[in-house]
Amino acid sequence: MTAALRNYHARMQRVLDHIDRHLDDDLDLDALSSIAAYSKYHFHRQFTATFGLSVHRYIQLARMKRASYQLAYSDAHTVTDVAMDAGYDAPDAFARAFRQRFGQSPSSFRKSPDWEPWLAAFGPLDDARSKLMRTTFIPDDVTIRDVPPTPVAIMEHRGDPALLGATIQRFIAWRKAAGLHPKTNPTFTVWRSERRPASPVDYSVDLCVGTDRPIAALGFDIKAGEIPGGRCAVIRVVGNSHNLEPPALYLYRDWLPASGEEARDFPIYCQRLSLFPEVPEHETIADLFLPLK
């Protein structure tokens, strides 16, 4: 990548970061073009050419994504609060827009989300964000850590990844009921299959929370387990931590063969150190662990 292209990407990334941090504010074209240091007469065309979405559409989708997370994963916000945060003056206008996009009312989505339309609706936003996502890594990005064994409570997801959102929703509900807050009890994801297996039914992932307490299932499908201790190759990913495939590919394809190390008999996993929407997406942090012999 040329220096000029890196500079262009950095300026556009500043815009995305500014949008993430200021979803509650009036994000007008003049302000955003100023953040990018481009002429307002050309900026909107440059943005659309780069991301495949207009600035207005990108902001709409980013606000709606946060709104959907607040509805599905948090009971701290009323539907009216969520509507106002998403930039709507009235809950009924928000409800119409939400139903048009997801096929459900906000209150229905909160009770029982239909995740397949949700995934389809945010495909363009995820594609846009991935345009500038970091996909190349170097050996200096990898550290080797001696990790202590961590007792965990596990909720398994087996089957179609399109339904993972429902498992995450149950997992959050259980850890709230159990009093295991992310600030006091670490959150892990353990991948036991490919990210996109040939058949969706073969998708397999464990959602885990670190705890040394006795596990109380509280009516949920929860079991006790352990993330074993040992040496691990670790890459820290800041921003866009919803897609850890690029650093995982780097570890397997490039780093591991060149390092002389061998992988241990435990799956690749991550610890999620900060989560959306508690922090803006570009501030989310995840450590990706490849267990070593």
Confidence (pLDDT) at 150: 97
Same domain (yes/no): 116, 151: no
Which CATH number is 218's domain given?
A: 3.20.80.10
Domain end residue (candidates: 130, 165, 187) = 130
Name beta bridge partners: 285.
238, 274
Same domain (yes/no): 267, 169: yes
Same domain (yes/no): 21, 146: no
Same domain (yes/no): 279, 191: yes
Same domain (yes/no): 62, 170: no
Same domain (yes/no): 151, 264: yes
Domain end residue (candidates: 95, 110, 130) = 130
pLDDT digits (tens, 9 = 90+) for 16-73: 999 999 998 889 899 999 999 999 889 999 999 999 999 999 999 999 999 999 998 8
Stretch 223-243: mean pLDDT, rounded?
93
Confidence (pLDDT) at 262: 96
Neighbours of 58 (CB within 10 A): 23
As a whole number of angstroms, the distance between CA 74 and CA 203 comes to 26
Same domain (yes/no): 126, 21: yes
Same domain (yes/no): 182, 256: yes
Name beta bridge partners: 291.
232
Same domain (yes/no): 163, 286: yes
Is residue 134 very low, low, confident or very high in pLDDT (cuts 50, 70, 90)?
A: confident
Confidence (pLDDT) at 43: 92
CA distances from 141 to 29, 85, 148, 167 (A): 36, 37, 21, 32
Concatenating the DSSP letter of every residue in the chain gives --HHHHHHHHHHHHHHHHHHHTTTS---HHHHHHHHT--HHHHHHHHHHHHSS-HHHHHHHHHHHHHHHHHHH-SSS-HHHHHHHTT-SSHHHHHHHHHHHHSS-HHHHHHS--HHHHHHHTHHHHHHHHTT------GGGEEEEEEPPEEEEEEEEES-GGGHHHHHHHHHHHHHHHT--TTTS-EEEEE-S-SS-SSGGG-EEEEEEE--SPP--TTS--EEEEE--EEEEEEEEES-TT--HHHHHIIIIIIHHHHT--B-SS--EEEEEE-TTTS-GGG-EEEEEEEB-
Confidence (pLDDT) at 272: 96
* Residue 288 near residue 247 (C-beta atoms within 8 A): yes
Same domain (yes/no): 286, 146: yes
The number of distinct structural domains making up the chain is: 2
pTM: 0.84
Confidence (pLDDT) at 217: 85
Which CATH number is 121's domain given?
A: 1.10.10.60
Same domain (yes/no): 86, 150: no
pLDDT digits (tens, 9 = 90+) for 242-259: 889 999 999 999 999 999
Domain end residue (candidates: 79, 110, 130) = 130
Structure tokens belonging to residue 79: 């539907």
Is residue 280 very low, low, confident or very high in pLDDT (cuts 50, 70, 90)?
A: confident
Confidence (pLDDT) at 68: 93
Q: Which domain holds residue 162?
A: 139-291
Structure tokens belonging to residue 218: 């509280």
As a whole number of angstroms, the distance between CA 251 and CA 247 comes to 6
As a whole number of angstroms, the distance between CA 117 and CA 103 comes to 7
Same domain (yes/no): 51, 74: yes
Structure tokens belonging to residue 135: 């996909």
As a whole number of angstroms, the distance between CA 225 and CA 153 comes to 6
